[in-house]
């Protein structure tokens, strides 16, 4: 199993020198790091053990201003290498880094007392004792990067600790948190990171979130060597052609498409180092990323984190909460919860009642990261949702339909992607692009007076079209066969229409065709009503224009 080791410890305590002494690689490669003699960003080096195994080492900065980088590095490690200066003992970031490691759930590790060459042996023993109290159960090894003292023993101890690292759950869908992005001539954009779960191989189609970019993997390397497929737990470099370097950054995730939600909310169980009040604003460190957030507390020890930027999280992920210092951590219970602060829901979540995670429709595939398939949910096509949600949908549609115009008592079909699959369960009837109550029919409601007045007017007007102001009423009366609408917002009564049609048919059957002038004379009206009627007959497929004349279509003749 691949194991990644991360350093930890106060500034200047000798982390980078120790990494260099162990691996031969100087991880302080930035000009500013070299000029100032401190680490700023993460460093990476492979560590070969005497037994032939190879560990990945991540070197982190100790400066208190760069703790965010330390958390990004520590988020992917299996094993810690806590470094304590023999002359100084534990200092503030020794404690803070150790707290972060614990909040991230990293159990195995080793303590290296550094710069053993620079102090009296008696002092080393004092510092070693302090370290044992600080990290009970971890081996403590006195070392010197300058003389090489203790390095072999340290490698051996790291090997033993690596063997104790619990097998990670790695069979889930692919997820890699990006820690570096760069471009290489002839290759294009390359991202590196620790593969949290799944695997990555040449040709894989993945998604970069939260940007939502579809990417295809050109090649994969593990420690500068090409591999066909990298496994979870490994540090990998992935070449992504067709992606601009600036489109990706540390904190982004490469995931199997659709397998993880991206969400602005996380329901968590809190692990507080100091009290975290309701409403507090803080930084949530998750994966290699960082989100500004507000805490909405619910019950004892639970909270919803409302994020300013979306996270790609899964149940069981651990996050670190920081204000100016590290004030706590949390375990994700629901990576994409509804907006709420209900302790009852948290209780279900904590118990692992997966059905409680789902409210509105989600694709069944998006629940794969939760492990088992939840019971007690409604299914429709690819979608799952809670029975309560379906009830709410029913009530909501019903209410909106009841409020709709009685002349056309329907509402538009919702545009959500689940609509097609879910609506048949919602107790409504789909007619074209609209939803109705099953068997419902239009009615005049309060407009029957207006309808009667309009019909009277139409009756008197005969072949002369009448303006219909109320379009819905016009459409309704037409559906009922009480009038016929012509162009320009005009209509004529049903009886007049039938009569006009009979005149047209008779003339065409005896003469073979009809002109506008002739039809006008037959009707005894002006030119415009005749014109509008002929256009309506054309539109209905009764007649066809041939030059200045109209002839009956075959269908009309047959009928």
Ligand X SMILES: Nc1nc2c(ncn2[C@@H]2O[C@H](COP(=O)(O)OP(=O)(O)OP(=O)(O)O)[C@@H](O)[C@H]2O)c(=O)[nH]1
Interface residues toward ligand X, by CB under 6 A: 9, 11-17, 37-39, 61-63, 114-115, 117-118, 144-146
Segment interacting with Mg ion, rule: CB under 5 A, options 9-17, 45-53, 75-83, 111-119: 9-17
Phi and psi at 113, nearest 5°, equal -85, 120
Which of Mg ion, ligand X, none sits in contact with 234, Cβ below 5 to 8 A by type? none
Nearer to Mg ion, 32 or 521 (CB): 32
Cα–Cα distance list, 194 to 5, 127, 159, 462, 526 (Å) = 11, 33, 20, 82, 83
C-alpha span between 144 and 368 (Å, rounded): 48
* Selected catalytic residue, list 25, 63, 168, 528: 63
Which one of ligand X, Mg ion, none interacts with residue 13, CB within 5 to 8 A by kind?
A: ligand X
Stretch near Mg ion under the rule CB under 5 A, chosen from 11-19, 155-163, 226-234, 299-307 = 11-19
Closest C-alpha among 210, 235, 213, 232 to residue 224? 235
Q: Cα 493 to the chain's mean position, in Å?
A: 56
Q: Does 16 bind Mg ion (CB under 5 A)?
A: yes
Contact characters 492-521, Mg ion, x per CB under 5 A: ------------------------------
| Site size with Mg ion, rule: CB under 5 A | 3
CB under 5 to 8 A by kind: which of ligand X, Mg ion, none does 144 bind?
ligand X
Q: For residues 4 and 16, which CB has a smaller minimum distance to Mg ion in the complex? A: 16
C-alpha to C-alpha distances, 111 to 15, 82, 84, 142, nearest whole angstrom = 11, 5, 7, 9
Write b or e for each residue in 240-256: b if 16 or more Cβ atoms lie within 10 A of its Cβ, otherwise e: beebeeeebbbbbbbbb
Please tell me which residue in 4, 10, 12, 204 is annotated as part of the active site: 12
* Cα 141–Cα 95–Cα 37 angle in degrees, nearest 5: 75
16, 27, 157, 174: the active-site residue? 16
- Is residue 12 flagged as an active site residue? yes
Residues in the chain, overall count: 559
- Pick from ligand X, Mg ion, none: which does 117 bind, CB < 5 to 8 A by kind? ligand X
C-alpha span between 372 and 463 (Å, rounded): 72
Q: How far is the CB of 113 from ligand X (least distance, A)?
A: 10
Q: How far apart are CA 61 and CA 63, in angstroms?
A: 6
Looking at the Cβ atoms of 74 and 176, the one nearer to ligand X is: 74
- Provide CB contacts within 8 A for 225, sequence distance 6+: none
Nearer to ligand X, 144 or 304 (CB): 144
* Annotated catalytic residue 528: no
Task: Kindly state the smallest distance separating residue 28's Cβ from ligand X, in Å.
Answer: 7
For residue 541, the 8-state DSSP code is T
Of 45 and 119, the one with the shorter C-beta distance to Mg ion is 45
State the SS3 of 243-302: CCHHHCCCCCEEECCCCCCCEEEEEEEEEECCCCCCCCEEEEEECCEEEEEEEEEECCCE
Query: Between residues 12 and 317, which has the closer beta carbon with respect to Mg ion?
Result: 12
| 8 A C-beta contact, residue 231 and residue 170 | yes
Q: Annotated catalytic, 15? A: yes
Q: In 3-state terms, what secondary structure has residue 458? A: helix
Shortest gap between Cβ of 47 and Mg ion (angstroms)?
Answer: 16
Point out which residues pair with 484 in neighbouring strands: 492
Q: Which is nearer to ligand X, 31 or 37 (CB)?
A: 37
User: In this chain, which stretch among 38-46, 88-96, 316-324, 390-398 interacts with Mg ion, using CB under 5 A?
Assistant: 38-46
Distance in Å, CB of 86 to ligand X, minimum: 9
The residue range among 16-24, 185-193, 352-360, 391-399 that interacts with Mg ion, by the rule CB under 5 A, is: 16-24
Between residues 70 and 435, which has the closer beta carbon with respect to ligand X?
70
Taking the least distance from each CB to ligand X, the nearer of 13 and 520 is: 13
Helix (H, G, I), strand (E, B) or coil at 138: coil
Going by C-alpha positions, the residue among 516, 533, 462 that lies closest to residue 493 is 462
For Mg ion, which stretch binds (CB under 5 A), given 12-20, 227-235, 498-506, 540-548?
Answer: 12-20
- Partner whose footprint covers residue 436, from ligand X, Mg ion, none (CB < 5 to 8 Å by kind): none
- Give the residue nearest to ligand X (CB): 62
- Exposed / middle / buried, residue 280 (Cβ in 10 Å: 0-12, 13-18, 19+): middle
Whole-number Å distance between alpha carbons of 36 and 48: 29
Judge whether 464 counts as a catalytic residue: no
Cβ 177 to ligand X, closest distance in Å? 22
Among 13, 15, 315, 447, binds Mg ion (CB under 5 A): 15
Could you give the CA distance from residue 371 to residue 143 in angstroms, rounded to a whole number?
A: 44
Residue 17's binding partner out of ligand X, Mg ion, none, with CB under 5 to 8 Å set by partner kind: ligand X
Q: Which option in Mg ion, ligand X, none does residue 11 bind, with CB closer than 5 to 8 A by kind?
A: ligand X
Contact by Cβ (8 Å): 242, 266: no
Please select the residue that binds Mg ion; options are 39, 56, 114, 197, rule is CB under 5 A: 39
Bridge partners, residue 53, by sequence: none
Interface stretch with Mg ion, choices 34-42, 174-182, 372-380, 472-480 (CB under 5 A): 34-42
For the CB of residue 21, give the shortest distance to ligand X in the complex, in Å.
7
Positive or negative, the CA dihedral 275, 278, 283, 286 is positive
Structure tokens at 112: 């290296």
Q: Which of 10, 15, 283, 359 is catalytic?
A: 15
Which residues of this protein are in contact with Mg ion, per CB under 5 A?
A: 15-16, 39
**Which sequence positions are flagged as catalytic?**
12, 15-16, 63
């Amino acid at each position: 199993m691949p194991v990644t080791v991360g350093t930890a410890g106060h500034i200047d305590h000798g982390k980078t020198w120790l990494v260099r002494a162990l691996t031969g690689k100087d991880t302080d490669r930035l000009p500013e790091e070299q000029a100032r003699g401190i680490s700023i960003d993460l460093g990476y080096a492979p560590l070969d053990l005497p037994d032939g195994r190879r560990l990945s080492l991540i070197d982190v900065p100790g400066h208190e201003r760069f703790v965010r980088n330390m958390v990004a590095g520590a988020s992917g490690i299996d094993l810690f290498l806590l470094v304590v200066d023999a002359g100084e003992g534990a200092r503030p970031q020794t404690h803070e880094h150790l707290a972060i490691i614990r909040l991230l759930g990293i159990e195995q590790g080793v303590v290296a007392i550094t710069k053993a060459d620079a102090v009296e042996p008696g002092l080393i023993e004092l510092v070693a004792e302090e370290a044992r109290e600080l990290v009970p159960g971890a081996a403590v090894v006195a070392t010197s990067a300058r003389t090489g003292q203790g390095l072999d023993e340290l490698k051996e101890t790291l090997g033993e600790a690596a063997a104790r690292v619990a097998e990670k759950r790695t069979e889930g869908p692919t997820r890699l948190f990006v820690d570096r992005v760069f471009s290489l001539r002839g290759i294009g954009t390359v991202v590196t990171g620790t593969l949290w779960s799944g695997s990555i191989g040449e040709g894989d189609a993945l998604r970069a979130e939260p940007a939502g970019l579809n990417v295809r993997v050109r090649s994969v390397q593990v420690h500068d060597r090409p591999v066909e497929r990298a496994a979870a737990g490994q540090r990998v470099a992935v070449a992504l052609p067709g992606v601009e370097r600036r489109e990706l950054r540390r904190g982004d995730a490469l995931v199997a498409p659709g397998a993880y939600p991206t969400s602005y909310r996380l329901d968590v169980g809190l692990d507080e180092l100091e009290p975290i009040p309701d409403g507090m604003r803080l930084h949530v460190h998750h994966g290699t990323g960082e989100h500004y957030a507000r805490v909405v507390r619910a019950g004892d020890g639970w909270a919803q984190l409302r994020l300013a930027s979306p996270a790609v999280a899964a149940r069981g992920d651990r996050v670190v909460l920081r204000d100016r210092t590290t004030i706590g951590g949390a375990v994700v219970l629901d990576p994409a919860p509804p907006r709420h602060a209900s302790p009852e829901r948290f209780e279900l979540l904590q118990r692992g009642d997966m059905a409680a995670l789902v409210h509105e429709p989600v694709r069944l595939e998006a629940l794969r990261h939760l492990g088992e398939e939840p019971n007690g949910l409604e299914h429709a096509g690819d979608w799952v949702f809670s029975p309560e949600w379906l009830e709410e949908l029913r009530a909501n549609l019903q209410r909106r339909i009841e409020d709709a115009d009685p002349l056309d008592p329907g509402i538009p079909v919702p545009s959500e992607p689940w609509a097609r699959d879910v609506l048949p369960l919602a107790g409504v009837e789909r007619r074209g692009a609209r939803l109705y109550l099953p068997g419902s029919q239009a009615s005049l409601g309060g407009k029957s007076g207006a309808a009667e007045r309009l019909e009277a007017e139409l009756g008197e007007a005969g072949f002369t079209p009448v303006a219909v102001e109320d379009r819905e009423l016009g459409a309704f009366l037409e559906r009922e066969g009480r009038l016929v609408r012509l162009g320009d917002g005009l209509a004529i009564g049903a009886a007049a229409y039938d009569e006009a049609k009979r005149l047209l048919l008779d003339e065409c059957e005896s003469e073979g065709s009809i002109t506008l002038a002739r039809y006008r004379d037959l009707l005894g009206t002006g030119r415009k009503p005749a014109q509008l009627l002929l256009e309506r007959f054309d539109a209905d497929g009764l007649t066809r224009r041939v030059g200045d004349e109209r002839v009956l279509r075959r269908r009309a003749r047959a009928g």
